[in-house]
Amino acid sequence: MANLRVTGCHFVVPVDVYKKDVCFMFGYSRKEILRILKVYDDTKIREIRKHFKSFNGGYEGLCVIGKFGQILITMPVMPTTADHFDTLAHEIFHGVEGIMSNIGNEHRKDDVDESWAYLIGYLTGQAQMKLGEYYKFAL
């Protein structure tokens, strides 16, 4: 049997408590991401697609935040190294910033807000769990 390796995946993690969704896309080119997003004919997704079009590539990770609090987190590779997961956590932080700002819970330097830390932990854990489903095919 051939050794199959997943080179790209995407999934949505619902953040029900804030009525938001975070879309994760890994291992896709800019062109592939735009093609995938084009399938969804929704005002919020069209806005994300429009924002994403303005990026020309050359990034290790990217978080696109829409005005309605919709979030796209993407990396051009499937995360496999500590550096990749550092980048993922960094982009998740930006996603949490977008969600929290949208609900009126903006981050200020003098605040210590556990809700931010909990949401970052939740999204990181969900992304790693979903990625685990794809990695099992590479064994």
Mean pLDDT by 10 residues, the chain (139 residues): 75 94 94 88 80 81 89 94 87 91 81 74 88 71
* Element (DSSP H or E) covering residue 71: strand 71-75
Residue 22: per-residue pLDDT: 95
Closest CA to 101 of 127, 69, 62: 69
Provide the token pair at 16.
């029900």
- The one-letter code for the residue type at 6 is V
For residue 84, how far is the Cα from the chain centroid? 13
Start-to-end Cα distance in the chain: 12
Closest CA to 97 of 127, 64, 58, 50: 64
**Range 7-26 burial, b when 16+ CB lie within 10 A, else e:** ebbbeebebeebebbbbbbb
Rg for the chain (alpha carbons), in Å?
15
Residue 109: per-residue pLDDT: 65
* Element (DSSP H or E) covering residue 81: none
The model scores a pTM over 0.85: no
